[in-house]
Structure 1
Amino acid sequence: MPEVAVADAEVREVLGVPANKAVFEPLTHNPWNGVTAGVWRVTADGRSAVLKVLTRTKETSVTWAASNDPRHWNFWRREAYVYQSGLAQVWQPQGLRAPRLLACAERPDGDLALWLEDVPGEPATAWPLARHVEHAHRLGAAQGAVGAGEDRPWLSQRFLRDYTAGKTTGQDLLDDDEAWQHPLVREHFPAGLRADMVRLHHDREWFLTVMESLPRAFCHLDQWPANVRSDGRGSVVLDWAFAGDGALGEDLGNYLPDSVFDLFVPAADLPGLAKEAYDAYLHGLRESGWRGDERLVRLGVCASAVKYDWLTALMLARADDEQPAYGGRGSVPAELRYRERGLVLAFLADWAAEARLLAPQLGFPKAPSGS
């Protein structure tokens, strides 16, 4: 049980029983993020809630360190502000909502305890493809309706640039012949991927500049199946820690590859899913009254491939390591991970190539390595 003495009043307020009468079940989350002290499902007398404790004192790597800067992508208090302000429910008319905030407690040690609705619906990690397409439609309708009008002093800015800048593991291996000859890499990464990923890395600044110049939207910035559930009526989106300014299409460009990277959707299904989901997202935008140039949305989705520039280098660096499952619970077969991720990276290389062709048509300069 987390900090029993501190949590007692909170459990009494939310569930109506003392903490020693409640069961605390740890939930899967990113254990390396310095903002998250822990996440639990708390159950008592047939009732339940989710407890998420936010902190700025957790020891972790520089990559995942908590920040006191309200605009930083990993600002430690952001999620509490998003819930307390009601901003987490701004998409509810379009069928996307957050769990209800039940309580927010400031603890004596400076941590923040978020008590949230325990959403009972099916997690998107187990959805059939059609449900992902429905979610994309809702997301388009929501971002078209809300647009970029939501700004608070604690929402993230320059997320894509700052998030990717901190991920440098293995970058020196991108041009290393030996790293690319590792059996896992040689046998499971598609032909031509090395040249494509080296080029994406070299063009990183161009892609970031394009993304920062596209039409803006209020974005969640961590949309992927582990953060989405169904409530029987629509989608419930969890974990609003990164929320802020993004490009129109950026959330979808995150959701689709992440569905495969952690093995929730087979890589073989990604091209078909991406096409249907993009069409559904665009349809949602149009339904909401958005009347912009569709090519700008497509560019936002395709250019968002730059978010994963760091992943190729990381996989080169970790080819000899055990492959942990998300959240650090157990492991996944290395061959499966490298095959599936290799296919997604090749798919993202196609997105990047499409972005290089599309951007000059919309008035952007050509990528430095040509089109």
Structure 2
Amino acid sequence: MPEVAAAHAEVREVLQVPADKAVFEPLTHNPSNGVTAGVWRVSGGDRSAVLKVLTRTKETSAAWSASNDPRHWNFWRREAYVYRSGLARVWQRHGIRAPRLLEYVERPDGDVALWLENVPGEPATVWPLTHHVEHARRLGAAQGAVGAGEDIPWLSQGFLRDYTSAQTTGRALLDDDAAWRHPLIRRHFPPGLREDMVRLHHDREWFLTVMESLPRALSHLDQWPANVVSDRSGAGVLLDWAFTGDGALGEDLGNYLPDCVLDLFVPAADLPGLAKAAYDAYLHGLRESGWRGDERLVRLGVCASAVKYDWLTALMLARADQEPVAYGGEGTVPAELRYRERGLTLAFLAEWAAEARTLAPLLGFPEAPSGR
């Protein structure tokens, strides 16, 4: 049994077997995040559960350190509050739910153990495109029907601004000619992408201000295929609610779609078609739930969310000489494949950014700064 997972009484309570009869299988997660001590699938007898241990004492980089501020995007207790309060169930009638909370334990060392339902089903990492589109429809219906949770004191605020500000690796390379001449970059970053991504970085404050001024929605803020599973009933089960809080309407979708490609779950060639179908489905879900706002505001929320990936170009420049590591540090990814797919995705995000610059003034926002 892993030391951080050592919880003999918890195993007996949840699985009803002695702890030495339980099998702990580590699950892929972001090992850099300071709030996550570990995640395991724990099996014993004919039962299984997922154990996630939350902490505030893990040593990590400043960008991923745990916070004691309930409004900070990486507040270490937030996910426990989401489950215990019932907030994780608010989208359930629209076809999106969270795993059931089986047991909540405040440990003597100060950590918090969440014992969650082990959901059998198909992960969104292998879904056909139609399933992603249906998830978008359900998300629209859920966010159109449920309020933004303004009165809940531990929901994150300012996620987009604070998260992107913390990701600084390689930022100086955006203006470095040598970095852009790297063979991987020259082969896989389309013509004009440098100008587009440098402009996105210089327009960052404008984009963030637009996103912060749009209609609000309760947002998961970490929606990507590795965090979604189809259960046996067909419902989408959404995992990892640690960032949950205030977001712009359309922001979750604007995160989900690029992430389908950035970690190689969907080919970049399919992104334009998927994005159109998913946006139409999201809007249909909003209307289905009774939302009657200006559709252009939703479109602006999706397109302006391109700023979430402002830091990614710099990171790709900085890591061009490193062997690409898969999510969670498990294995590697062919460099040519990663840079080709991410280059195409960044070019797609540049198109979103351009659309946002055109659309925003039509809705009363100031014009974006002119290009350099």
**Which residue of the partner structure matches residue 139 of structure 1?**
139
RMSD: 1.1
The alpha carbon displacement at 1:6 in A equals 4.4
CA contact (8 A) 1:132 1:277 kept: yes
Kindly report which structure 2 residues correspond to 1:309-328, keeping only aligned pairs within 5 A, or say none: 309-328=310-329
* CA shift in 2, pair 1:363/1:5, >3 Å: closer
**Which residue of the partner structure matches residue 303 of structure 2?**
302
Give the letter for the 1:234 counterpart. Answer: A
| CA distances 1:334-366 after superposition (whole Å, capped 9, x unpaired) | 000000000000000000000000000000000
1:43 aligns to 2:43 (yes or no): yes
**Which residue of the partner structure matches residue 247 of structure 1?**
248
Give, in whole Å, the separation in 1 of the partners of 2:317 and 2:356. 25
The alpha carbon displacement at 1:5 in A equals 8.6
Give, in whole Å, the separation in 1 of the partners of 2:185 and 2:214. 35
**Which residue of the partner structure matches residue 71 of structure 2?**
71
**Which residue of the partner structure matches residue 366 of structure 1?**
367
CA contact (8 A) 2:149 2:246 kept: no
Kindly report which structure 2 residues correspond to 1:180-329, keeping only aligned pairs within 5 A, or say none: 180-231=180-231, 232-329=233-330
The alpha carbon displacement at 1:303 in A equals 0.2
The alpha carbon displacement at 1:370 in A equals 5.9
CA contact (8 A) 1:4 1:19 kept: no
Give the letter for the 1:340 counterpart. Answer: E
CA contact (8 A) 1:302 1:355 kept: yes
Identity of aligned residues (%): 83
CA contact (8 A) 2:37 2:58 kept: yes
**Which residue of the partner structure matches residue 24 of structure 2?**
24
1:353 aligns to 2:354 (yes or no): yes
Give, in whole Å, the separation in 2 of the partners of 1:150 and 1:236. 24
**Which residue of the partner structure matches residue 54 of structure 1?**
54
| CA distances 1:176-221 after superposition (whole Å, capped 9, x unpaired) | 0000000000101111000000000000000000000000000000
Give, in whole Å, the separation in 2 of the partners of 1:156 and 1:334. 35
CA contact (8 A) 1:43 1:49 kept: yes
CA contact (8 A) 2:4 2:38 kept: no
Please give the TM-score of this superposition, normalised by the length of structure 2.
0.98
| CA distances 1:282-328 after superposition (whole Å, capped 9, x unpaired) | 00000000000000000000000000000000000000011000110
Kindly report which structure 2 residues correspond to 1:91-102, keeping only aligned pairs within 5 A, or say none: 91-102=91-102
Give, in whole Å, the separation in 2 of the partners of 1:30 and 1:58. 13
Gaps of 5+ in 1: none
Kindly report which structure 2 residues correspond to 1:79-118, keeping only aligned pairs within 5 A, or say none: 79-118=79-118
Give, in whole Å, the separation in 1 of the partners of 2:316 and 2:4. 40
Gaps of 5+ in 2: none
* CA shift in 2, pair 1:4/1:300, >3 Å: closer
CA contact (8 A) 2:155 2:245 kept: yes
Give, in whole Å, the separation in 1 of the partners of 2:186 and 2:229. 37
CA contact (8 A) 1:99 1:117 kept: yes
Give 3-state SS (helix, strand or coil) of 1:174's partner. Answer: helix
Give, in whole Å, the separation in 2 of the partners of 1:281 and 1:238. 20
Give, in whole Å, the separation in 2 of the partners of 1:327 and 1:268. 25
| CA distances 1:221-271 after superposition (whole Å, capped 9, x unpaired) | 000000000013210000000000000000000000001000000000000
| CA distances 1:25-45 after superposition (whole Å, capped 9, x unpaired) | 000000110010000000011
CA contact (8 A) 2:4 2:37 kept: no
The alpha carbon displacement at 1:149 in A equals 4.0
CA contact (8 A) 2:174 2:198 kept: yes
| CA distances 1:70-102 after superposition (whole Å, capped 9, x unpaired) | 000000000000000000010001000000000
Give 3-state SS (helix, strand or coil) of 2:122's partner. Answer: coil
Give, in whole Å, the separation in 2 of the partners of 1:160 and 1:5. 32
Give, in whole Å, the separation in 1 of the partners of 2:371 and 2:143. 32
* CA shift in 2, pair 1:63/1:5, >3 Å: closer
CA contact (8 A) 2:257 2:275 kept: yes
